Structure formats: C-alpha cells, structure tokens
Amino acid sequence: MRIAPFLVWFILLFALSNGRVLAQNDEYYIAPSKIDSIETKKRQWNYVFSNNFVIGHGAASMFYNKLAASNQLAIYYEGTVTSSMYGSVALSLAYKQAQWGIILGYEKQFFVEQNAHLVIRQSPHVYQRSFVFNYYEWPNTLFLFSTFIEYDFEYSKDIAISPSIDFGSFLYINSSPFDPLVDKSINKYFRDKILLGGSLRVKYKINYSTKVYLQIRQQNFFFDASSYFDQIDKETFSMVYQLNYYGVGVEILF
C-alpha cells in the first residue's frame, strides 16, 4: 500500500517530462510543405491562344505589257496604303519554346493615289506616256488564314524575343471591281492568292499562363491578275504588294 503513492508520483513526473520534451521538439518541428507549384504541373505540350491588333502602311503595284496588236504598250498600276488595321486570333500547339499553329485574321486597308501609268504608241516611232489619277480601286477588305511557326528565345526570366514566319492565303470580302469598265469578280480572276509574313515579338510574362507582347510585322501579298485584264501578255505580269505593321497582343497558355 505504501508503494502506490510512489508509483503515482513517478508516472506523473514521467508524463510531465515527456510533455516538456515534446513541447521543446515542437518548437523545431517543421511540417512538410505541400508542393503545389504550377511549374510542377507544367506539361511538355500545351495549347496557346493569342490575339493581336496591329496597324500598318505600305504600297502595291502591278505591271504588264499589252499584246502587240494594241496601241497601248504597257500599264503600271500603283496604290499607296496610308493605313491598315489588322486583327487576328491564333491557336497553336507549344512544345517548350516552340509553337506551331493557325491564324485567322481580318484586315481593312485604306488606299490613296490609286493611279495608272500607260505607255501608248502614237506611231511606229512615237510613244506617249499617259497618267490616270484615282480611277482604279484596289480591293481593300480581306479575310486571311495561314499557318505559322514561332520560337521563344528567353532573354530573361520574364522576357522573351520571338521571331515567327507564316504562310497562307486570303479572300477579298469587298466586291467592287478593280477597273470600273471590267465586269469581272476580283476573287475569281485574282488567282493564286498567297500570303507570306514574318513577325518579331517581345513578350513579357505576367504569370505562368499569360504573356503580353509588342510586335513588328511585315506582310507580303501575291496574286496572279493576268486573267482579269484584256489584251495582256500574261508572261510579263508582275506585282509587288508589301505592308509593314506594329502593334500589341496577348498570349494565353491553357
């Protein structure tokens, strides 16, 4: 009976001492953190949606020789694009820093000085140069579609420099004839329409999934309009149609 109180005190002292040890250990105990970083969930393949808006300017021209039976020897058409508004959306597949995808765009161009230079034979050895001012109307509203390749060169943790190239085609939306005296569809007779472009973007990463960017771009349009004109030497048809742009955009990873 005398041993019982001693055992009670011994048990109490043992419990208190263990409690102090546990309490002391709790001060240095660090619970394992949950690794929930977005970077750890990063996939090698991702989908990217981007949207951009650019404005630009440039010039377009066409040249051809007339057939020998005509008094007109050659015609040179020119048009100056004082401004152009181009908006597009793109969906791409990204692998690390590389992207491949498709672009759909809409563009409205504003032409001035839509002129023509004509070389006319007056006699076997006399030629006259004639100038027609703002008579012709270059098509100016387009729907564009292309495929592109892009690569991000990381300049820093948050900044990347991204060159890209794209290749595709386009469709004229407006139906006004180029020449008021020629009743032919522009989309039908302006054939083999090709779009070739290149861009350089400086991207800033807001977070893992979102980037904004500044962009400069050059876009070249090609088509064969030799079937549109009459009495033309089709082998001599040539054209230059180039615009330069600058603008902004956003890119979202999902």
In the chain (254 residues long), the average pLDDT of successive 10-residue segments reads 50 50 47 45 80 97 85 89 97 95 97 89 66 91 97 95 97 87 89 96 96 97 94 93 98 94
Position 124 scores a pLDDT of 60
Position 44 scores a pLDDT of 77
Q: Which residues pair with 159 in a beta bridge?
A: 204
Residue 200 half-sphere exposure, CB side, CA atoms within 13 Å? 4
Position 181 scores a pLDDT of 87
pTM: 0.77
Residues making up the chain, counted from first to last: 254
Q: How far is CA 216 from CA 19, 37, 52, 141, 158, in A?
A: 69, 34, 11, 21, 20
Position 70 scores a pLDDT of 66
In degrees rounded to 5, what are phi and psi of residue 99? -135, 145
Q: Would you say 139 and 107 are in contact if contact means Cβ atoms under 8 Å apart?
A: no
Residue 101: closest CA among 45, 51, 148: 148
d(CA 119, CA 130): 6
Position 69 scores a pLDDT of 63
Q: What's the DSSP call for residue 151?
A: E
- Containing 216, the helix (H) or strand (E) segment is strand 210-224
Position 35 scores a pLDDT of 46
Position 183 scores a pLDDT of 86
Residue with tokens 């007779």, as numbered in its chain: 189
